[in-house]
Amino acid sequence: MPDQLIVCKSCSFTADEEKRDGETGGAHLLKQLQVLYEQWPRKDELALETNGCLCICEQPCAIAYVGTGKPTYLFTGLDPATCAADLLTAAELYLDSEDGMVSAYKLPPDLQPRRAARIPPAP
Ligand code: FES
């Protein structure tokens, strides 16, 4: 099973702005990602998935990287209008890491403070 980038499609744009032009922040982010993903040379290695809620609703937008035998990374407080390209850059780091460990300093600068959790894989 390929690694996954899971986007919470229900997330608000910000904690104070649920929708913009009738669209949730998560739905907007997903659209931004889908455009880039279609041209992305590594899309066979990473599945772009959605989820109804990642249970961190008070810190939108939220996404997670999930991989078999790899830690799960949760990112929150993302700006859905600007973060899509950075998320695919970070996805490449995740794909390239055999054990899934990615140092924060290697992430795109805007993502570094947005990493909220790293959850170890099941043994
Ligand atoms: S609505 Fe996105 S984490 Fe709950």
Segment 6-33, tens digit of pLDDT: 999 999 999 999 999 999 999 999 999 9
Residue 64 CA to its chain's centroid (Å): 5
Q: Where are the alpha helices (DSSP H) in 67-117?
A: 84-96
Domains of the chain, first to last:
3-119 (3.40.30.10)
Q: Residue 86 and residue 100: Cα distance in Å, rounded?
A: 17
Phi (first) and psi of residue 115, to 5 degrees: -75, 120
What residue owns the CA closest to ligand 1's atom 1? 11
**Mean pLDDT within 90-119:** 97
Task: Output the average pLDDT for the chain.
Answer: 97
Measured in angstroms, how far is the CA atom of residue 86 from the centroid of ligand 1?
Answer: 20
Q: Give the pLDDT confidence score for residue 97 in this predicted structure.
A: 97
Measured in angstroms, how far is the CA atom of residue 51 from the centroid of ligand 1?
Answer: 9
Instruction: Specify whether the CB–CB gap between 121 and 70 falls below 8 A.
Output: yes
Reported confidence tier of residue 1, pLDDT bands at 50, 70, 90: confident
